[in-house]
Structure 1
Amino acid sequence: ALEVLAGGLELATLVFMDLEEDSDGEIELKEIKFRRMPRSIVDTGYGLERLVWASQGTPTIYEAVFPEAVSFLTKKANLEAKLEKSGTLISENAKLCGVLSVDYGSDLTKLRQMVLDRLNLQGYDLSLSEFTSTIEPLEKLFAIVDHSRALAFMFGDGIVPSNVKAGYLARMILRRTVLLSKDINVPEILPEMVKHHIDNFSSTYPELKRNESHILDMVNLEIERFTQTLERGRRAVKRELDSGGINQDKLLELYDSQGLPPSVVRKFSEEQGHSIEVPDGFLAMVADRHQGETKNKKKSERHIASEPTKLAFYEDMEKREFKAKVTYSDKSNISLDSTLFYPEGGGQLGDIGFLEWNGQKSKVIDVQKIGDVVLHQIKGAVPPLGTEIIGLVDDDRRSNLSRHHTATHLIGAASREILGSHVWQAGASKSVDRARLDITHHRRLTREVIESIESKVNSLILEDHAITT
C-alpha cells in the first residue's frame, strides 16, 4: 500500500493487489498460501473530507467540514470560550493521536497520558486531569456533530432503528449521541442538531428536506424509547446490585439484554451508593462474546450434473403446457432443458402439476432452483434421461400465487406512498390462499393507516393497470 500524506495527514491510500488466497498457491506469506491474480488492481481511496481539512487549516476536521454545526452546538453547550482558548491544544492533540498505534480495546487513560507526555515535551504544562477536562467535552461535542449528521442521512435513506444490521448501528449511534449530549449539558439537543444538518445539506441533498418530518419523527421516537429503556435499566441495575453486585459478565449481560451502556450502569450504581469498574475495551469484549456465538452458515453446495434449464415461464406467463427433454434423472427428481414450472423463491411457493410421456403420467410436487438447474420432484414413475415429456402446470395454483405476488407489490407501493419513502420490503410470503408482506417502519400501524393502505391498493386494482414482468 502507498499512503499520500500532507503535513502528516493521510489524504489517500493506494492498495496494489495481485495475489489472492489459495490453499494450493505457490506463494506463501505469513504461513498463508496465495496465487497470482489474472489481473493486477490498484484500489485508490481518497479522504474527501480530509482534503477539505487540509485546505482549510482548522484545528480539527470537524471545524472544516461542519463549521456551522460546530458553531451552533458550542453556543448551545456554552463551550465557545473553551474551544477558542484550546484551539492550538486540540490541533496538536489531533496530530499526535494520528501517530498512535491504537488497537481495539486499548486503555484510553494510557493513550491520553502518551499524548500528554508528547505535548508537555513541546512546552505545555498540564496534568492529566487538566488535559482530560479540556479535551473530553470538545471531543464529545465533535462526536455529537458527526453522529447527528450520520443519523440525518441514515434515516433519510430509509434505515429504521432495530436490533439487527444497519438498524442496530443507527440505534447505537443515536443512543450514544443522547448520552454524550447529557454529558455536555444539552440533553435535548439531538433533534435540533439533526434539523440543523437537514437545513444545511438540503441544497445539495434535497431528499433530506422532503423526508424531514419522517427523520425527526424517527429521532424523537427513538429518544422516547431510549428513555423508557433507561427507566427499565435503572430497575434492572438495582435488582443486580441487590442480588450480589455487578461484575464484568453482568455488565456485558446488561448491555446485551437491556441495551445499557456501561457508563449508564455505572451512573445508576453510583446513585444507589455502589461503585463498579468499567473495563477498558468494553466494546471489544462485546464483539468477542458475539463472535464466539456466531456459526458459519454455508449455503448448500449441491451440484446437479445437468445443462442449465431455460426459464421459459419468463417468456410467456400465461402458458401452462410445454414440451421438453429430460436432462437429469434420479430416483425422485428430474431436470429439463426448458420448463414452465416456476421454482420456489422470493417468498413464493413453487408450481406443481403433471408430466406425461409414453402413456405415463406423474405428479410434480415440488420445484427448486439449484444453481442454473431447475429440479422437479416427482411423485410416481420418473422419466429416464433423454425422454421427451409434456409438462402441465396447475393453473389454479399458479394464478393464485401470481395474484398474491402482485398484491404484495401493490401493498408495498401503497405503503411507501402513505408512510414515506423509508418503507421497504423486509420479507414476504406468498401462498395459494394468502400472502404476507413485512415492511420497514418505525411505528406500529394504526387501524386508520391500514385502512388507508387498503383503500389505495383497491383503487390501483380498479384502475386496471397492465402488468409486465
Structure 2
Amino acid sequence: MDSYMKEFDAKIIKVNQNEVVLDKTLFYPEGGGQPHDTGKFIRSGEEFKVINVRKSGGDIIHVVDRVGLNVGDVVHGIIDWERRYKLMRMHTASHIISAVIHQQCGALITGNQLGLEESRIDFNLEYFDRNVIEACVEKANEIIAQGLQVKSYFLPREEALKIPSISKLASQRLPSTELLRIVEIPGVDIQADGGTHVKNTSEIGRIVVKKLENKGKNNRRIYFSLQK
C-alpha cells in the first residue's frame, strides 16, 4: 500500500448494519500499536463518515457513522490525511528510536502505542539510565536530519527471517504469511512491518522526550512527541 494515496473507488461486498467490507481499500485497520485511519465514503453525493477500521478474520471492517450503505454500492473513499500523516511520522520515528536503542543497549520492544500528539515505546532494559536514553534519542534525531530514504518492499518469509533483527519485538510475533512486508531505512533499520510510513526521514521532524517511566522489572517506557 502506498501510504501517500488519499482517495480511491471501491465496491461494497459485505454489509452488517453500519459495518462495511470493500473489494479493496486504502484505510489502515488498527494493529501493531498503530491506530486506524478515519475518513469518509461518498456514494452519489451522500457522505458517510468512517469512524473505525479493524481486521476481522480475512476482512477489513469499516465502521461508518450510520446505516444506509448496501452491497453492490460503489463508494469513493477519502482518507483523513492530517491524521494519517501524523501517524506516519510517528511510526517511522518509533522505528528509528527502537533501532538506536537496540544497537546501543541490546533492548527489544515489549509494547508500543502510537498517538497523534504523543507516542510511547516499552523496552526490556535491565538498567534505567536517563542519560543513556536521552543520548539515544539525540542520535535518532541526528539520523532523521540526514534525510534518509524509507523503503518498503516484500520478501518471501524464509528469506526475510534470515535478516538479523528483522523483528525488534521481544515476543517475535511475525505474521504467518508467505510474504512479509519489509520497511527499511538503509544503514539504520530493517523490520517486518505492515504500517504506514513517510518516504524520507526529513519529514518526521525532531523527536522530543516527554517522560521516562520504570514499569517494573526490565520494563522501561519512553513517551515522545514530534516537533516540525
TM band (smaller chain): 0.5 to 0.7
Q: Which residue of 2 aligns with 1:229?
A: none
| CA–CA distance in structure 2, aligned partners of residues 437 and 449 of structure 1 | 16
Residue 400 (str. 1) matches residue 83 (str. 2): no
Counterpart of 2:140, as a letter, is: V
Deviations 1:221-257 (A, max 9, x none): xxxxxxxxxxxxxxxxxxxxxxxxxxxxxxxxxxxxx
Residue 436 (str. 1) matches residue 104 (str. 2): no
State the SS of the aligned residue for 2:151.
coil
Deviations 1:157-185 (A, max 9, x none): xxxxxxxxxxxxxxxxxxxxxxxxxxxxx
Q: Which residue of 2 aligns with 1:340?
A: 26
Within 5 Å, which residues of 2 pair with 1:280-299?
none
Q: In structure 1, which of residues 351, 356, 363 is the aligned counterpart of residue 37 of structure 2?
A: 351
Q: Which residue of 2 aligns with 1:371?
A: 57
- Name the count of aligned residue pairs: 152
Counterpart of 1:442, as a letter, is: E
Q: Which residue of 2 aligns with 1:466?
A: 149
Q: In structure 1, which of residues 448, 461, 467 is the aligned counterpart of residue 131 of structure 2?
A: 448
The structure in which a higher percent of residues are helix is 1
Deviations 1:194-213 (A, max 9, x none): xxxxxxxxxxxxxxxxxxxx
Q: Which residue of 1 aligns with 2:207?
A: none
1:404 CA drift (Å): 0.8
1:461 CA drift (Å): 0.3
CA contact (8 A) 1:333 1:382 kept: no
Counterpart of 2:48, as a letter, is: S
Q: Which residue of 1 aligns with 2:5?
A: 319
1:382 CA drift (Å): 3.1
1:465 CA drift (Å): 0.8
Q: Which residue of 2 aligns with 1:417?
A: 103
Change (3 A) 1:460 1:320: same
Identity of aligned residues (%): 34
State the SS of the aligned residue for 2:139.
helix
Q: In structure 2, which of residues 50, 70, 80 is the aligned counterpart of residue 384 of structure 1?
A: 70
Within 5 Å, which residues of 2 pair with 1:21-60?
none
| CA–CA distance in structure 2, aligned partners of residues 350 and 468 of structure 1 | 22
State the SS of the aligned residue for 1:347.
coil
CA contact (8 A) 1:329 1:382 kept: no
Higher relative contact order (CA 8 A, sep 6+): 2
Q: Which residue of 1 aligns with 2:183?
A: none
Q: Which residue of 2 aligns with 1:52?
A: none
Counterpart of 2:77, as a letter, is: G
Q: Which residue of 1 aligns with 2:140?
A: 457
TM-score, normalised via structure 1 length:
0.32
1:416 CA drift (Å): 1.4
Deviations 1:5-30 (A, max 9, x none): xxxxxxxxxxxxxxxxxxxxxxxxxx
CA contact (8 A) 1:357 1:388 kept: yes
Counterpart of 1:463, as a letter, is: Q
Within 5 Å, which residues of 2 pair with 1:156-195?
none
State the SS of the aligned residue for 1:453.
helix
| Structure 2: stretches of 5+ with no match in the other structure | 153-228
| CA–CA distance in structure 2, aligned partners of residues 351 and 418 of structure 1 | 33
Within 5 Å, which residues of 2 pair with 1:14-93?
none
Change (3 A) 1:382 1:467: farther
| Structure 1: stretches of 5+ with no match in the other structure | 1-313
1:430 CA drift (Å): 0.5
| CA–CA distance in structure 1, aligned partners of residues 78 and 52 of structure 2 | 13
| CA–CA distance in structure 2, aligned partners of residues 395 and 359 of structure 1 | 20
The structure in which a higher percent of residues are strand is 2
Counterpart of 1:376, as a letter, is: H
Counterpart of 2:114, as a letter, is: K
CA contact (8 A) 1:354 1:391 kept: yes
